[in-house]
Amino acid sequence: MATLTYRDALNQALREEMQRDPNVFLMGEEVGVYQGAYKVSRGLLEEFGAQRIVDTPIAELGFAGIGVGAAMGGLRPVIEFMTWNFAVLALDQIVNSAAKMLYMSGGQINMPIVFRGPNGAALQLSSQHSQAWESWLAHIPGLKVVAPATPADAKGLLKSAIRDNNPVIVLEGEMLYNLKGEVPDGEHIVPIGRADLKREGKDVTLVCHSKTLTVALKAAEQLAEQNVSAEVLDLRSLRPLDEAAILESVKKTNRAVVVEEGWPHAGIGAQIVDLIQRDAFDDLDAPVQRITQADVPMPYNKLLERAAKASPEKVVAAARRVLYLD
Amino acid sequence: MATKVHMEALSPTMEEGRLVKWTKHEGDPVKSGDTLAEVETDKAVMELVARADGQLLKVMVPEGTTVPVGNVVAWIGKPGEKVDGDGAGAPAPKSQRSAVSGAREDKPAPAPPSASPRAAPSIPANPSPPIAPADATRVKASPLAKRLAKDAGVDLKLIQGSGPGGRVIKRDVEAAPTASAATASAAQAPAVPRTADRAPRTGVPYEDVPLTQIRKTIAKRLAASIGPIPHFFLTTEIDMERAVEAREALNQQLGEAGGKISFNDIIIKAVALALVQHRACNAWFQDDHIRYWNEVHIGMAVAIEDGLITPVIRNADQKNLREIGAESRELAGRARNRRLKPDEYTGATFSVSNLGMFDIDQFTAVINPPEAGIVAIGSIVAKAIPDGDRVVVRRRLRLTMSCDHRVIDGATGAVFLKTLKQMLENPLAMLL
């Protein structure tokens, strides 16, 4: 087991999968010579050559479409978007082609493609470059969506995504790439659709994914100082969703706070709350609370941006509300 | 942090309380459980006790003030500790009851002693919508609390909710005393009980019997005819000669030992014993079922200064006349001083109202729901009574029973009265 950054864990997953299967290739802006806008593809051009590490023009719809065609032809493309904010341009290929192919071909054509890149806000990238797209993507039947929060999960989930015969969206994060953590060497697979209990507790469940795991863990620390035992459940996959894990935890703690990066309206958290109210109704002691980004375009101003984001303090306050402590 | 002392709901129906007297004063040390103040509720004068240890830091409500349930009346904390002045005397924001009271404009809330002008315009970080005055009869509870209460056989209505708007939550149910095994065993009672039977001495306090269709129809039709409780009245005249003699003899026997036996005591005892034989009259109407009691608890109407209250003599059928006498004197005394605890004036299965001392020949009493009957006792009056072909003077008592027709039919009440009459006319029958 080595301590790696999140970016190097992704790099390891790509390298191992490309070594394992010659059909796997990486395509995107600056992935080759520049070795990736966030250096995820460092050293890969040198190792695998320009045929498998493909630099593209700034044309998201175009190279996403090439990827879809390559997948139909039997290859296993990994499409890197510099950020998911740019991938909006490629949504037609993702939603109308990739997500529908298996269904509309009557099960004849698989779509083993991965679309990956950083999602959500970093620091002061302003409104157009700070958006969390998971509720858009997880909405679409035919897509799988994963959002790893740790280097180990990043490696394990990217490997699963590459081996999956369906289109898989991998949501990373600019603020995650430098995160360090222990990563198992070699064959480390995290199955898609399986949540992970990152901290056990008994009083309240904090449901999170991706960057909000850090927020939830900090909140759990603060709550522990207030004698509140918080359980932190990292969803890891948003579609399919590990409903059993969510329900099991809520049935234990009777209370939940859902923490997400996106906006509140029709967000991922709304889906989780729907599940909890329906299938854990008799176990609830308080209405489920949600902590989201403020319902505004992300401000550029540093203080406003901080105020708009989910924070440990907001999560602590919500946890205290569901525990009737205030 | 200093602890708030709230006006608590000291009776199930209490919405506000008048702070009669502070028994602790600012600066006094207090321990959890100490009496802080006397509070007059809608029923009695009760004690407000401390829920925390420390010093009574501040008294927010002067004596004589009436305060809605849920309001802060004092602070307990460490000596010298600062208390939050802003919330002083104001309704606790999360209490449903205080929200209801707050909506009543005609009832001024006690003025906050140091209302901060800055406090008013400030907007809370997470504004919550105002809680609308809820239907007072509806219990708000979290789904989990409802399930836990159901599993434990606890009545949610009896639990004071500590959540927002008085919502009953998990911790409230866990803190509530669980129902006795009685509920569980009562549930296993046979579906069709023989209510005319004597009450079985099984240790089970009562038996719930679902309403049959005919019973439901009777309940609906009769309730529609007069008021919520369809009363009817049965009057009988009872010869009290032997009861008078028995009482004199017994009191002679007791001599100077004190605690004379009254007619009221004899009547309570006789009613209780007759109810044992006629369980059909010892019942509560419970909307969708009738609760037939195996225990006999007699409510005794006592006139007090501004109303009346019915302290309860529990298991009156099993107490002797001296015990009944002592208990009724003691309860009546405290009732008049408004010192009864809620469990001393609730839970009667049948009631007795006596206006004999006021020289009333006969009257009809109003049923105290959910009980199904009450007997009204008039004066014992000497009357000329035909005896064969001559006329004799006998001391007679006119007694009227009010019956809830949803539970008791004419004949049912009449048989009960017949037994009661036999017991009073021949007090020795009570020994049977």
Q: How many residues are recorded in chain B?
A: 432
pLDDT value at position A94? 98
Interface test with B, best of A285, A292, A314, A326 (most B CBs within 10 A): A285
Same domain for B78 and B13? yes
Distance between terminal CA atoms of chain A?
A: 44
Query: Taking 50 as the threshold, does the pLDDT of residue B296 lie above it?
Result: yes
Residue B88 pLDDT > 60: no
Q: Is the pLDDT of residue A164 over 80?
A: yes
Average pLDDT, chain A: 97
Tell me whether residues A285 and B142 touch, CB distance under 8 A.
yes
**pLDDT band for position B110 (50/70/90)?**
very low
Write down the pTM of the prediction: 0.53
The answer to whether residue A177 scores a pLDDT higher than 60 is yes
pLDDT value of position B255: 81
pLDDT score for A317 = 97
Asked if residue A105 has pLDDT above 80, the reply is: yes
A250 vs B70, higher pLDDT: A250
Per-residue model confidence as pLDDT tens digits over B154-205 = 888 778 888 888 888 998 888 876 544 333 333 333 333 455 556 666 667 7
What's the mean pLDDT in B9-36? 84
Residue B137 pLDDT = 56
Which residue type sits at B292? Answer: Y
Residues of chain A contacting B146 with CB distance shorter than 8 Å: 282
Whether A168 contacts A138, CB under 8 Å: no
**Residue A279 at interface with chain B, using a CB cutoff of 8 Å:** no
Say what the pLDDT of residue B163 is.
Answer: 84
Q: Assign B158 to helix, strand or coil.
A: helix
Q: Are residues B136 and B165 in the same domain?
A: yes
* Contact across the interface for A286 and B143, Cβ inside 8 Å: no
Q: Average pLDDT in the A142-150 region?
A: 98
| Tokens found for residue B360 | 């009333």
Q: Which of A29, A129, A209, A305 is catalytic?
A: A129
Query: What pLDDT is recorded for position B367?
Result: 87
The C-alpha atoms of residue B280 and residue B289 are separated, in whole angstroms, by 13
Instruction: List CB contacts of B214: < 8 A, sequence separation 6 or more.
Output: none
pLDDT band at B100 (very low <50, low <70, confident <90, very high): very low
End of a domain among B197, B228, B256? B197
For B279-316, the DSSP string reads GGGSEEE-SSEEEEESS--EEE-EEETTEEE--EETTG
B chain contacts of residue A254, beta-carbon cutoff 8 Å: 144, 170
Residue of A282, A283, A286 with shortest CB distance to B169: A286
Spatial neighbors of A255 by CB under 8 A, at least 6 apart, are A203, A204, A205, A284, A285, A286, A288, A319, A322, A323
How confident is the model over B299-328, as pLDDT tens digits? 998 887 667 788 999 999 999 998 999 999
Q: What is the pLDDT of residue B125?
A: 41
Six-digit token string for A189: 């697979």
Please tell me the predicted confidence (pLDDT) of residue B358: 86
Q: With CB atoms and an 8 Å threshold, state whether B142 touches A317.
A: no
Interval B10-20 mean pLDDT = 78
Cβ pairs A/B, distance under 8 A: 28
Best residue in B169, B172, B173, B174 for a mutation probing chain A (most A CBs within 10 Å):
B169
Cβ atoms of residues A50 and A32 within 8 Å? yes
Average pLDDT rounded to a whole number, residues B115-132: 39
Mean pLDDT of A93-111: 97
Q: List the one residue out of A161, A151, A178 whose CA is nearest residue A1.
A: A151
Nearest CA in chain B to A277: B143
| Phi, psi torsion values for B284, nearest 5 degrees | -115, 140
Please check whether residue B145 touches A, CB under 8 A.
yes
Touching check for B160 and chain A: CB below 8 Å? no
Is pLDDT of A111 > 90?
yes
Same domain, residue pair B249 and B388: yes
Stretch B21-31: mean pLDDT, rounded? 90
List the single residue in A281, A285, A317 with the smallest CB-CB distance to B170.
A285
Which among A312, A222, A212 is positioned nearest to A267, based on CA atoms? A212
Q: Reply yes or no on whether the pLDDT at B427 is more than 80.
A: yes
Higher pLDDT, B135 or B46: B46
Active-site residue A188, yes or no?
no
B171 interfaces chain A, CB cutoff of 8 Å = yes
pLDDT at B383: 92
Shortest distance, CA A181 to any CA of chain B (angstroms): 36
- Interface contact A248, partner B, CB < 8 A: no
With CB atoms and an 8 Å threshold, state whether B143 touches A281: yes
Task: Decide: A232 and A283 in contact? Cβ < 8 Å.
Answer: no
8 A C-beta contact, residue B36 and residue B30: yes
Higher pLDDT, B353 or B366: B353
Q: Can you give the pLDDT at residue A109?
A: 97
Claim to verify: residue B261 and residue B354 sit in the same structural domain: yes
CA distance B94 to chain A (A): 10
Catalytic residues of B: 405
Residues in chain B within 8 Å Cβ distance of A285: 142-145, 169-170
Same domain, B18 and B79: yes
Residue located via tokens 């959002």: A147
Residues of B in contact with A282 (CB under 8 A): 143-144, 146-147
Q: Using a CB-CB distance cutoff of 8 angstroms, which residues of chain A are in contact with residue B145?
A: 285
**More reliable by pLDDT, B50 or B304:** B50
- Contact status of A281 with chain B (Cβ, < 8 Å): yes
| Closest residue in chain A to residue B151, using alpha carbons only | A282
Judged against a pLDDT cut of 90, whether residue B413 lies above it is answered with yes
Task: Find the domain containing B183 and state its range.
Answer: 124-197
Cβ B65 vs Cβ B84: under 8 Å: no
B103 touches chain A (CB under 8 A): no
Q: Residues near A259 by Cβ (< 8 Å), separated by ≥ 6?
A: A206, A207, A208, A212, A215, A216, A219, A269, A290, A291, A292, A310, A315
User: Alpha helices of chain A — where are they, by DSSP H?
Assistant: 6-20, 44-48, 60-72, 84-87, 91, 101-104, 134-138, 151-163, 212-225, 243-253, 268-279, 302-308, 312-322
Tokens 């990827």 — which residue?
A: A67
Check if the beta carbon of residue A279 is closer than 8 Å to that of residue A251: no
- Picking from A250-259, B52-61, B215-224, B260-269, which range would have the lowest pLDDT averaged per residue? B215-224
Task: Determine whether the interchain pair A281/B170 forms a contact, defined as Cβ–Cβ distance below 8 Å.
Answer: no
Whether residue B225 contacts residue B310, with contact meaning beta carbons closer than 8 Å, is answered with no
SS3 label, residue B8: coil
Q: Is residue B116 part of a domain?
A: no
- Is the residue at B390 inside a domain? yes
Which residue shows structure tokens 């009861």? Answer: B243
Q: Which two tokens stand for residue B210?
A: 């679902």
Is the Cα torsion angle A125, A128, A131, A133 positive or negative in sign? negative
**Of A298-302, B122-126, B326-330, where does mean pLDDT reach its minimum?**
B122-126
The model's pLDDT over B221-230, given as tens digits with 9 standing for 90+, comes to 666 655 778 8
Domain holding B9: CATH number? 2.40.50.100
Pairing of strands A230-234, A204-208: parallel
Query: Tell me, what's the pLDDT at B164?
Result: 84
The answer to whether residues B273 and B241 belong to one domain is: yes
List the one residue out of B232, B164, B153 whose CA is nearest residue B186.
Answer: B153
Contact A285 B126 (CB under 8 A): no
Is pLDDT at B86 greater than 50 in this prediction?
no
B205 domain-assigned: no
Is A317–B126 a contact, with Cβ atoms under 8 angstroms apart? yes
Domain finish residue from B166, B197, B228: B197
User: Could you give the count of Cα atoms lying within 13 Å of A177 in the half-sphere of its Cβ?
Assistant: 18
Asked if B143's CB is within 8 angstroms of A324's CB, the reply is no
Task: Please tell me whether residues B192 and B85 are part of one structural domain.
Answer: no
- Residue B12 maps to a domain: yes
Among residues B357, B361, B364, B372, which one has the least CA distance to residue B405?
B372
Helices (H), ranges, B94-234: 96-103, 143-152, 170-175, 181-187, 213-225
B191 with B227, same domain?
Answer: no
What residues contact residue A207 under an 8 Å CB cut-off, 6+ apart?
A233, A235, A246, A249, A256, A257, A258, A259, A269, A272
Q: Greater confidence, B89 or B397?
A: B397
A286/B contact by beta carbon, under 8 A: yes
pLDDT classification of B44: cutoffs 50, 70, 90 = confident
Of B249 and A30, the one with more pLDDT:
A30
CA distance A129 to chain B (A): 28
Sequence-distant contacts of A106-110: CB under 8 A, at least 24 apart: A109/A72, A110/A71, A110/A165, A110/A166
Q: Which two tokens stand for residue B285?
A: 């109407």
Confidence (pLDDT) at B350? 96
With an 8 Å Cβ cutoff, is B166 touching chain A?
no
The pLDDT tens digits of the residues spanning A187-225 come to 999 999 999 999 999 999 999 999 999 999 999 999 999
> Could you give the C-alpha distances from B417 to B222, B241, B397, B425, in angstroms and in order?
22, 18, 13, 12
* Residue B340 within any structural domain of the chain: yes
B382 part of contact set with chain A, CB < 8 Å: no
Residue B370 placed within a domain: yes
A88–B contact, CB cutoff 8 A: no
Q: Are residues B169 and B253 in the same domain?
A: no
Residue B150 near chain A (CB below 8 Å): no
Is A129 in the active site?
Answer: yes
Catalytic residue among A60, A80, A134, A261: A60
Q: Could you give the C-alpha distances from A67 to A71, A105, A147, A167, B179, in angstroms and in order?
A: 6, 18, 21, 11, 67
Q: Which residues from B are below 8 Å from A284, CB to CB?
A: 142-144
CB contact under 8 Å between B144 and A282, yes or no, is yes
Percent of chain B with pLDDT over 70: 76
Q: Each residue of A236-255: pLDDT tens digit? A: 999 999 999 999 999 999 99
**Per-residue pLDDT, A48:** 98
Phi-psi region of B93 (alpha: psi -120 to 50; beta: other; left: phi over 0): alpha
Closest CA to B240 of B219, B263, B223, B217: B263
Instruction: Name which residue leads in pLDDT, B427 or B303.
Output: B427
**Count of domains for chain B:** 3
pLDDT per position as a tens digit, A26-40: 999 999 999 999 999
Question: B208 in a domain, yes or no?
Answer: no
CA count, 13 A, side-chain hemisphere, B94: 15
Asked if B146 and B56 sit in the same domain, the reply is: no
| Confidence label for A20 from pLDDT (cuts 50, 70 and 90) | very high
Residue B115 covered by a domain: no
Whether B352 has a pLDDT exceeding 70, the answer reads yes
Q: Does B41 share its domain with B144?
A: no
Nearest to A283 among B126, B144, B171 (CB): B144
Q: Is the pLDDT reported for residue B119 higher than 50?
A: no
CATH number at residue B135: 4.10.320.10
A278 touches B at CB < 8 Å: no
Nearest CA in chain A to B143: A282
The CATH code of the domain that includes B407 is: 3.30.559.10
Q: What percent of chain A has pLDDT over 90?
A: 99
Domain boundary among B136, B171, B197: B197
For residue B368, pLDDT over 90 is answered with no
> Residue B182: its pLDDT value, please?
35
The answer, for B162 touching chain A at a CB cutoff of 8 Å, is yes
Read off the pLDDT band of A46 (50, 70, 90). very high
Q: How many CB atoms lie within 10 A of CB A244?
A: 12
The whole-number pLDDT of residue B47 equals: 86
Q: Are residues B240 and B376 in the same domain?
A: yes
Cβ within 8 Å, pair A254-B144: yes
